[in-house]
Every structure is written in structure tokens, then in C-alpha cells.
Amino acid sequence: MSNMSLLTVKNLRKRFNLEAGFFARFGKFVNAVNDISFSIGKNEAYGLVGESGCGKTTTARLLVRMYEADSGQILFYDGDNAGTADTGIVDVSMLKKDALQNYREKVRYVFQDPARSLNPRMSVYEVLVSGCRKPLRKKGVKEKELREKAAAILEEVGLGAVDLEKRPSEFSGGQRQRISIARALLMEPELLICDEVVSALDVSIQGQILNLLLDISKKRNISFLFIAHDLKVACYFCDRIGVMYKGELMEEAPAAYLYKKAMHPYTKLLFSSAAGNKETACLTETGHIEKRKNTLGCSFAPRCPHALDRCRNEHPQLTEKNSGHLVRCLNLI
């Protein structure tokens, strides 16, 4: 893991209208991502962990500009520009057309549900190459070389060249996720965004996919943004972890340290929930949205067993408690 930041996020914000539809009233908003800041180093796996609706996926989609941020910065270190007049750091929000396409080739997205993200009418070969055939041809890669490259990457993820002409429906869920990973790797990215890539899989298959990603990390020296709701899974795979709740980072620390010495009550709740404690059952999505409208106080105060009056009226800042360990909690300041 390198100390150099490949991707830096500064004060990122995104809100959505609370109501949907043509006749929805305008003016009531959900703060899906609320002043998020973090960085991902070269060859580092950074985890974003939290319950459904906390803003993890919205954050990831902002990074590849599937959504446009309301404010904040996303800075990417482009090694192709290093050594020129500038520093090689580009502001992703300013990228247009070819420059944006070039960025998206270096930052690839793997979706949660491969059954929905893989076109069932295409062969595996077409699934792999349909999105990158044009840019690779610009680089002089011919169709025969592209097929060889696709076959090699399929073998790298645990499938084979004989699978190129099959349809995604012929594979199991774990195998389809391997195809999704292979598609992301075809452009040789520098950062892989893995959005809940193991959450829909059986536990035994989860371990296989996680170990595959670890092997890819070692072989290719690429960085990861690993999104998950299971904190223990994230601690196994990631170097550092940010814990999100209602659009905010509540705690950030090295994964090994967080596993042993989590400080924030919400992080402890997630560990307890992962251990099967039914008393820590998650709120419904509706409950999350309703409470997000209140901007006073700590967002976790309504659920916190240690909340004081000041917690409901004073908003805590993300504060460094130890080297590399940040916590947003008034009781820990």
C-alpha cells in the first residue's frame, strides 16, 4: 500500500428531492451524501460500510459521475499526466467527453447484482468487450487480440476461454459475478469500485469472491473502493474503513484497529448486528428517510443508548482520536 492518494474526496454533498414523480412537491430534500471526505491510496482497499440507505452507493456513483455532486471535489491522480506542467491531479467534475471516458476506463464499477447488470441476450464475450471495443481499437488492439485478452481475463477470474460463447444465464450467481469482475478488469483499471459484490451470494461463495479480489489486488496492484453492509466482511478485505450513517462518516480507522477498538456506538451496533444480535435490528428505509430531515444534533442520537440532551441539539464534528482514527461523537470528544 502506498501513501500516495489515487483518489481524494473533499466535502462531497448530494441531496435528492424527498418525493418522486411528476406531481411531487419540490423543496423537501434527503441529504444522501452530507459533507463526506476521504482518500484512497495507491494499491489500497478502502471500505465504506453502513446500513441500506446510508449513502454508500450514492457516494460510489458520484465518483464515476453517474450522479452529479451538488458540491465538493473529487480529485484523481492521473499517472499519464504526471511529469507534465501540472501535477497529474485532475478534478473529476471538470472532465468532459474523451477526458471523462478516459477517467472511467481507469475507475471501473462492479455492480451488486450481476443478473441485472449482464445483458442476457449477449454472449459472455460481447458482455466483456462491448463497452471497451472502441477505445481499445483506438489503441491498436485488433479483434483477435481482444478475444485473446478476454479469454485470458476469464481464466484469471476462475472461468475459461470455452465460456466466451455462453450466455450469462448458463452460470451461477458467483460465476456471473466473476464475469462482472472480468469485464471491469479488461481496461486494466487503477481503481475498482465494488458495490456490495458479495452481499447476494452464499457465504461459501462470498469467501471465494473475496479471495479472488485479494489475488487481483496483489497481482495487478490496483486500488479498491469496497462497499458493504457487513462490517466483518469489510474488515477482512479492506485496509481502512469509513463507517457511514445518514450520509455522514461516523468513524474511520485502519480495518485491523477498527475491528479491535471501534469507538462509535453505531460502529459497535454494526459489529453486534453482524454477530447475529437481534436486538440491534436495522431500521426500515422509511425510518431512515424520515429522520434525515432533522438536521439538528447528531444523526445517530435517536438510536444511541448513550445520547445526552446536547447530542440532540449539537452537531458533532469528525475528530481525530488517535493517529488515523476519526470519530464523530460528542461523548468521545
Q: Render 201-223 in DSSP notation, one character per residue.
A: S-HHHHHHHHHHHHHHHHHH--E
Residues in the chain: 333
15 in a structural domain: yes
Q: Domain limits at 100?
A: 5-117+189-282
Number of folded domains that form the chain: 1
CA separation (Å) from 153 to 4, 183, 328?
28, 8, 42
Q: Cα(267)–Cα(134) distance, rounded to whole angstroms?
A: 44
The answer to whether residue 299 sits within a structural domain is no
Look at residue 29 and tell me if it is in a domain.
Answer: yes
- Is the pLDDT score of 110 beyond 80? yes
Chain segment 80-94, per-residue pLDDT in tens: 765 444 578 999 999
pLDDT in tens, 145-170: 999 999 999 999 999 999 999 999 99
Residue 129, domain member (yes or no): no
CATH number of residue 47's parent domain: 3.40.50.300
Burial string for 201-215 (b: 16+ CB within 10 Å, else e) reads: beeebbebbbebbee
- Given a cut of 80, is residue 287 above it in pLDDT? no
Please state, for a pLDDT cut of 70, what percent of the chain lies above it. Answer: 88
pTM of the model: 0.90
Is 221 inside any structural domain? yes
Question: Cβ contacts of residue 294 below 8 Å, gap of 6+?
Answer: none
Model confidence pLDDT, tens digit, residues 263-280: 999 999 998 877 666 555
Confidence (pLDDT) at 290: 41
Domain membership flag for residue 96: yes
User: What pLDDT, in 10s, does the model give residues 14-55?
Assistant: 998 876 655 556 667 788 999 999 999 999 999 999 999 899
Residue 267 lies in a domain: yes
pLDDT, mean over the chain: 87
Answer whether residue 234 is part of any domain: yes
At 118, which amino acid appears? Answer: L
Whether 135 has a pLDDT exceeding 60, the answer reads yes
